[in-house]
Amino acid sequence: MPSFIDRVVLHVSGGDGGNGCTSIHREKYKPLAGPDGGDGGHGGDVVLVVDPRVTTLLTYRRSPHRSAGSGTPGMGGWRRGSDGEDLVLPVPEGTVVKDSEGRLIADLVGAGASVVVAAGGAGGRGNFSLASSRRRAPGFHLLGEPGQVRDVVLELKTIADVALVGYPSAGKSSLVAALSAARPKIADYPFTTLAPNLGVVEAGETRYTIADVPGLIPGASRGRGLGLEFLRHIERCAVIVHVLDCATLEPGRDPLSDLDTIEAELAAYAARLAQEEDDQALTGRVPLMERPRVVVLNKIDVPEAAELADFVRSDIEDRGLPVFEVSAAAHTGLRALSFALAGLVARARSTGPAAEDADRAGAHRPVIRPPAVGRRGKEPLAEVRLIRHPREGGVYQVLGDRPERWVRQTDFTNDEAVGYLADRLAAGGVEDELVAAGAHAGDAVLIGPVDGGVLFTWEPTMTTGAELLGARGTDARLENRRRRTNAERRVQYHARMDAKEAARQELRDEAVAGLWTDAAGYSDDEDGA
């Protein structure tokens, strides 16, 4: 029997984008045919897709590290690199995806529902794509962006219309087996059920699913027993059924106290749910403690249990809860229970989010107009603030998606690429933001986070143009073209002369000390002839 795993931590990484290519087209009778370097391919994404055939997360428990394919670099001859292959991971329906900090990413419900959990990096542009009227033959390319790396938490929450809750050995699994074709493991010892069991029930024209949640004990909402591990499986149900054991032999237990205990645990667990998980406006589901309740008094085939059921029935009905006396072993009272649950499920479906969407199908649909791309003056490109760097002291930090992406794409070993980055930052208004923040020439500027960002000394960008562009791969603005003054030339000349005289004097001192002799008077003959 395969293991049931309903929570795993997945380490995913998108594919890296391929680098662009720097190439000049070579053709006979066309000595300067222009750049032909192609763009790099994009990295693949890691995508979670709901597959009805998958019922457990066991596969990801055994191999939690998953990576998508990387893009290949661009090539000459206007050839673009190939894109990395997406990694599609099938997950069961009802999987909730959260990040490492517990924030909700997606709630996957319905076959084919998908979400990208790790985006692939964009491919770098080749020098053909970077050519312009001012930069006709760029001697550089842009680097591919690295893929997104993150840890995500997958939690499986069973999707069922009816959830059975109660103490261990209350007869929940037997009731599921009696109402449906499911055959869960049944035994007379506590905690027999270690995984939720699903069954399909047909009552007239209504078909609904029923889930058997493992037994709950006092303190389940705080992690005692198996309750905290499986209480999440009742979050999506429309009806909660309390299965009370009327034939228990444990001291201090009776149907009324069992009902109060389980209700207290449900209330404590509902209080722990995040707002986005229990908010009716966001999820479309009724809050957990406001959903319809049904009480089932089980095991009435035992004479003492039947008498106890008749005794507590009126007390439970006074609370406004419908009560059904059944026996899962003897199949007594099951038909009335199944039709009553079918009515509650049909009522819940008629008022659920699916019905509301159907009612609004013919209504006026709102028109969503995304903002125009490239519009300036609406919001700043980056945020600039003065921070305290652990090593550099006061540093102006630049934060923004586009400036950080430009830095990741820059090859800092190429002067022309660095100059292109400076032009992009200046055109995007980053330098204006630095001036507004109080930065001056020579101040330290950090683009990106403290860990992993690029730190450099800021110098206001000069006006660029074709006259400032030199050989491919160079930028005249980054070269030191300052001429020496006559005084500097004189000082450097005297320094060289003094160094030469010091070297001659050292040789003279060594000759006087006898460390070496003149080679002109040296001979190999023993007599000196």
Q: What is the pLDDT of residues 423-444, one digit of tens each?
A: 888 888 888 888 888 888 888 8
What is the predicted pLDDT for the residue at 415?
Answer: 84
| Calpha distance 389→395 (Å, rounded) | 6
Name which residue leads in pLDDT, 82 or 357.
82
Lowest mean pLDDT among 33-37, 78-82, 173-177: 173-177
What are the tens digits of pLDDT across the range 53-62? 887 788 888 8
Q: How crowded is residue 398: how many other Cβ atoms within 10 Å of its Cβ?
A: 27
| Calpha distance 269→288 (Å, rounded) | 9
Checking if the pLDDT of 187 tops 90, the result is: no
Lowest mean pLDDT among 257-261, 402-406, 436-440, 520-524: 520-524
Checking if the pLDDT of 397 tops 70, the result is: yes
Asked if 455 and 445 touch (Cβ cutoff 8 Å), the reply is yes
Average pLDDT over residues 371-400: 76
β-sheet bridge partners, residue 147 = none
What is the predicted pLDDT for the residue at 127?
Answer: 92
| Calpha distance 425→406 (Å, rounded) | 9
Lowest mean pLDDT among 44-48, 181-185, 477-481, 509-513: 181-185
* Amino acid identity, position 196: P
Which DSSP helix (H) or strand (E) runs through 199?
strand 197-203
Mean pLDDT of the chain: 79
What is the predicted pLDDT for the residue at 424?
Answer: 87
What are the tens digits of pLDDT across the range 5-37? 678 899 999 999 999 999 988 888 877 778 999
The percentage of the chain sitting over the pLDDT mark of 70, rounded to a whole number, equals 77
Burial of 376 (0-12, 13-18, 19+ CB in 10 A): exposed
Q: How confident is the model at residue 316 (pLDDT cuts 50, 70, 90)?
A: confident
Q: How confident is the model at residue 478 (pLDDT cuts 50, 70, 90)?
A: low
3-state DSSP: the chain helix, strand, coil percent, rounded to 5? Answer: 30, 20, 50
Query: What Rg do the C-alpha atoms of the chain give, in angstroms?
Result: 38
What is the predicted pLDDT for the residue at 357?
Answer: 47
Checking if the pLDDT of 378 tops 70, the result is: no
Which runs of consecutive H residues, i.e. helices, occur in 382-461? 401-408, 415-427, 430-436
Q: How confident is the model at residue 373 (pLDDT cuts 50, 70, 90)?
A: low
Cβ-based neighbours of 360, under 8 Å, separated by 6 or more: none
Q: How confident is the model at residue 102 (pLDDT cuts 50, 70, 90)?
A: confident
What are the tens digits of pLDDT across the range 125-135? 999 999 888 88
Average pLDDT over residues 503-507: 91
Q: Which of 300, 292, 224 shows the shortest CA–CA distance to 261?
A: 224
CATH topology of domain 162-357: Rossmann fold (3.40.50)
Q: How confident is the model at residue 476 (pLDDT cuts 50, 70, 90)?
A: low
What is the predicted pLDDT for the residue at 4?
Answer: 58
Among 195-199, 272-276, 484-488, the range with the most confident prediction by mean pLDDT is 484-488
Question: Which superfamily, per CATH, for 1-156?
Answer: GTP1/OBG domain (2.70.210.12)
Checking if the pLDDT of 283 tops 70, the result is: no
Question: Which superfamily, per CATH, for 383-478?
Answer: GTP-binding protein OBG, C-terminal domain (3.30.300.350)
Give the phi and the psi of residue 136 in degrees, each rounded to 5: -75, -30
Checking if the pLDDT of 358 tops 50, the result is: no
Checking if the pLDDT of 411 tops 50, the result is: yes
Name which residue leads in pLDDT, 365 or 122.
122
Name which residue leads in pLDDT, 185 or 483.
483
Q: How confident is the model at residue 371 (pLDDT cuts 50, 70, 90)?
A: low
What is the predicted pLDDT for the residue at 452?
Answer: 81
Cβ-based neighbours of 437, under 8 Å, separated by 6 or more: 384, 385, 386, 396
Checking if the pLDDT of 293 tops 50, the result is: yes
What is the predicted pLDDT for the residue at 462?
Answer: 55
Q: How confident is the model at residue 529 (pLDDT cuts 50, 70, 90)?
A: very low
What is the predicted pLDDT for the residue at 363?
Answer: 45
Among 187-196, 363-372, 430-439, the range with the most confident prediction by mean pLDDT is 430-439
What are the structural domain ranges in the chain? Answer: 1-156, 162-357, 383-478, 486-518
Q: How confident is the model at residue 149 (pLDDT cuts 50, 70, 90)?
A: very high
Checking if the pLDDT of 477 tops 80, the result is: no
Q: Does the reported pTM lie above 0.75?
A: no
